[in-house]
Amino acid sequence: MTPKELSEKARELVGQGWVLLDVRTPEEYRGGHPEAARNIPVQELPQRVKEVGPPGTKVVVYCQAGGRSARAAEILRAHGFADIFDLKSVNNW
């Protein structure tokens, strides 16, 4: 998908009620993020996964460049989350 296609799809999903999850550091998050985003750094995600919601929760995840969001998607899948859309970079929003 192109960045434009990623953006359109992510915005559509969040509009449908999907959780928007920012897995960057709190410092990066404070530097700017989409209004609807929740911040749980990827390194804290295994311990804080319940904050995302129950395993049936649908999630759009992103980070700065795409590496951490891919890792977060793996973590979420391991905890029973099936509907995950990896936006990759916040810049794609």
- Residues designated as active site: 63
68, 43 Cβ separation under 8 angstroms: no
Please spell the DSSP secondary structure of 18-47, one letter per residue: -EEEE-S-HHHHHT---TT-EE--GGGHHH
Q: How many CB atoms lie within 10 A of CB 38?
A: 15
- Using a 10 angstrom Cβ sphere, with 0-12 exposed, 13-18 middle and 19 or more buried, the burial of residue 35 is exposed
